[in-house]
Amino acid sequence: MGLLACGDDSTPEQWPEEVWREDVALMREVDVNLVSAGNFSWAWLESREGSFDFGWLDRVIESVQANGIRIALGTLTVVPPAWFSRGRPEVLPVNREGVCWEFGWRGAIWHSSPACREAAVRITTALGERYGSAPAVAKWLRNNEYGVQVPECCCETFAAHFRRWLAEGYTTRKAVNGPWTLVFWGEAYGDWKEIQPPRATPTVCASSQRLDFARFAGDSTLANGRRERELLRELSSGTPVTTNFMVSPTQCDSIGHWCRGREVDAVTHEHYAVAEDDRNHIGLPKAADLARSAGGGRLRLLLEHAVSGVNWQPRNFAKTPGEMARNGLAAHVAPDSGGAMFFQWRAPRFGAEEFRSAMLPHAGTDSRIWQEVVELGAHVRALAPVLDARTAADSQDLDAHECAEGYHAGLFDRHLTVNFSPPDADADAGAGAGAQVPLIRQGTELPTAERADGPFAVPAGAVREVRLDD
């Protein structure tokens, strides 16, 4: 595949076609060989139900292919069109306070609803049938940042599915009372129908009930991703299927990283340094270590990081000269990433991310950022001979979620490479010769559980098919 340097989302739908031609020429100048596109363009491909217009995407793919560039094609399912939300209002999510989130911002959709699943199958099938054998498609990107926007919903439909999920794992409806410690404040349930999602309460909700609800939501989301994956595998000829992970012990804890690692053909992930943190460089190897661990040591790919400053942190600083190359090359490509990709290629003219950095900034090619992007492309090309290199951890750690950050920082300061381990792993697993400390055991792998009345009806770390049709 070759090492990769590229803007993650080229967003061609935001620009007239003459700009596409300019983009491709500039991409060749900086040795881009992979772009991702399509994540947020469902409304452009299906303007009304069942009416598809693939013409513009055909031309985008033909253009990059003619210039030796391949594409990581998104399945579009992260943002269904407005016509879908208006016609099927039951897909709009309800928060813990009972407020329905309306269409009009990214993520205002309950992806596990039966109607949304049906629509996702339709658009994924259409994409697979059209581009499943296209040589320019290097990989499929399912959805976007699974579980980040709206991982769960507190509507009555989701509540009914939650009760069905509980019934599969607990022997009786009274069996939840013990593990959830509901005797404490007299909150015990006597009937399945009494069990609700952890909606807003005047005091704290039972923490075990809240955890089970998060496990259920995680299972639901993973089942959605599996459905897209199986469709694409059926319609493609060996094209890898993945999604972009948010790899940090404090990010995206609605879904366990190891469950997701087992569900993809390769781990592709993001990393954004915390600009105001005096030691934000520690987050770079931590993200790399977690991504490598979640993928079982397979070749990973840094799919998203920032060229310079972002727009969504409390304090957004521009990167200093050379920092972009250090972040991408030293922290990710040097250990075992198949490349260093960015979000995004061209700085947008409008919208929430108008003022975040891009490979091609508003200042154009007469800018320091562009010159550093050109240099990065040359560095990445020169590193092609070490593409198949892998990193072997020389330390192994054991700890819960809240302490993982501190332990990792201490190990980093001692120049030790770290592996992370899921909470259900054997404590001795992976301990190699010369291992000096235990393995950090990540404590947020939600789909794994043991109950007071016996093992939950699912193997450790497995993801069940959560049926939402009934």
Please, which residues have CB within 8 angstroms of residue 90's CB and are 6 or more apart in sequence?
Answer: 113, 115, 155, 157
Residue 294 near residue 261 (C-beta atoms within 8 A): yes
Question: Model's pTM, two decimal places?
Answer: 0.86
Band the pLDDT of 467: cuts 50, 70, 90. Answer: very low
Q: Of these residues, 46, 152, 270, 304, which one is catalytic?
A: 304
Mean pLDDT, rounded, of the chain:
82
The pairs formed by 27-31 with CB atoms below 8 angstroms and a separation of 24 or more are 27/64, 27/67, 27/69, 27/345, 28/67, 28/68, 28/69, 29/374, 29/377, 30/5, 30/359, 30/373, 30/374, 30/376, 30/377, 31/5, 31/377, 31/378, 31/380, 31/381
Residue 120 near residue 224 (C-beta atoms within 8 A): yes
Told to judge if 145 belongs to the known catalytic residues of this protein, a careful annotator would answer yes
Q: For 440-459, write each residue's pLDDT tens digit.
A: 433 333 333 333 333 233 33
| Other CB atoms within 10 A of residue 210 CB | 14
Average pLDDT estimate for 204-230? 89
Amino acid at residue number 437 = V
Q: For 292-315, write each residue's pLDDT tens digit.
A: 888 887 888 999 999 999 998 899
Average pLDDT estimate for 110-137? 93
- Cβ burial of 456 (10 Å; 0-12, 13-18, 19+) is buried
Tokens found for residue 369: 């950022």
Residue 439 pLDDT > 80: no
**Counting every residue, how long is the chain?**
470
Residue 377's nearest CA partner among 114, 113, 31 is 31
Q: H or E stretch including 468? A: none
- Start-to-end CA distance of the chain, whole Å, equals 43
Told to judge if 62 belongs to the known catalytic residues of this protein, a careful annotator would answer no
Q: For position 458, what pLDDT does the model report?
A: 32
Q: Of these residues, 145, 263, 270, 445, which one is catalytic?
A: 145
Q: For position 212, what pLDDT does the model report?
A: 92
Taking the C-alpha atoms of residue 230 and residue 242, their distance in angstroms, rounded to an integer, is 11
Taking the C-alpha atoms of residue 385 and residue 3, their distance in angstroms, rounded to an integer, is 9
Q: For 359-413, write each residue's pLDDT tens digit.
A: 999 999 999 999 999 998 888 778 777 666 667 666 554 344 545 677 788 888 8
Measure the CA angle with vertex 373, ends 371 and 379; round to 5°.
110
Q: In the chain, how many H helices and how many E strands?
A: 12, 16
Q: For 264-299, write each residue's pLDDT tens digit.
A: 998 999 988 888 888 888 888 888 888 888 888 788
Taking the C-alpha atoms of residue 297 and residue 392, their distance in angstroms, rounded to an integer, is 8
Average pLDDT estimate for 325-351? 88
Residue 8's nearest CA partner among 144, 151, 99, 135 is 144
Residue 250 pLDDT > 60: no
